[in-house]
Amino acid sequence: MSAPQDRKSEILDAAATLFAERGIAGTSMREIGDVVGLNAGALYHYFRSKGAIVNELVTGFLSDLLANYRATGLEHFEPRARLKAIVDVSLAMGAVRPDATKVYHAEFPNLRKLRDFAAANDLADEIQTIWLDAIEAGKDAGVLRKDVPSKVFHRFLRDSVWFTVYWRKPDDPYTLGELSEDCISVFLDGMAV
């Protein structure tokens, strides 16, 4: 018999896959239970509701992402390398947890309005600050244009990075390193000759 924490992780993984495929609203507790071999009632031993599953999934994803950004020592990099490190961490997270990334990307704008998601909201705000600080550092260093609002540049770059989970496959010969280099090149150097 698996340990409760292992079982919770199994439930979260199954839920992430279903939520990514069908959306949160389109997934029932019964369907999650079917995937992990539990009846819907037994799921309530691990999570009090579907909302609790979503909350733990999103909060855990954001906590891990924030920890990975912090572990990189971003504050020690010059602006271009700092943005590249943020993109590297984000792409790696998407590659390891594509379903959680899809759920976060597609569902969090609506979830963040809910009171139960206050912790996730705080984490998302802290993550956004990391991106915005890097962009502002680039502007201050003269590496990035000052006429483009930082929040707009952030949204374009962030969404481009997160959206890769929809088209890049784990066995893609186009490596994460190549993807990161190309992403930074397009956003910082442009496509014009």
> pLDDT, tens digit, for every residue of 159-173?
999 999 999 998 999
Residue 116 structural domain: 54-189
> pLDDT, tens digit, for every residue of 58-111?
999 999 999 999 999 999 999 999 999 999 999 999 999 999 999 999 999 889
Q: Report DSSP state, residue 80.
A: H
Task: Say what the pLDDT of residue 41 is.
Answer: 86
* Residue 14 located in a structural domain: no
Is the Cβ–Cβ distance between 19 and 107 less than 8 Å?
yes
> How far is the C-alpha of 109 from the C-alpha of 120, rounded, in Å?
11
Percent of the chain with pLDDT over 70: 98
* Residue 117 located in a structural domain: yes
Average pLDDT across the chain, whole number:
94
* Residue 148 located in a structural domain: yes
> pLDDT, tens digit, for every residue of 114-166?
888 999 999 999 999 999 999 999 999 999 999 999 999 999 999 999 999 99
Is the Cβ–Cβ distance between 156 and 187 less than 8 Å?
yes
Mean pLDDT of 21-36: 96
> pLDDT, tens digit, for every residue of 42-58?
999 999 999 999 999 99
pLDDT for 1 beyond 80? no
* Residue 45 located in a structural domain: no
Instruction: Check which CATH number belongs to the domain holding 62 and give it.
Output: 1.10.357.10
* Residue 29 located in a structural domain: no
* Residue 179 located in a structural domain: yes
- The pLDDT-based confidence of 191 (bands split at 50, 70, 90) is confident
* Residue 38 located in a structural domain: no
Structure tokens at 188: 């910082």
Long-range contacts made by residues 18-21, C-beta under 8 angstroms, separation at least 24? 19/54, 19/57, 19/99, 19/102, 19/103, 19/107, 20/98, 20/99, 20/100, 20/102, 20/103, 20/106
* Residue 115 located in a structural domain: yes
The tally of domains found in the chain comes to 1
CA angle, residues 136, 151, 75, in degrees to nearest 5: 35
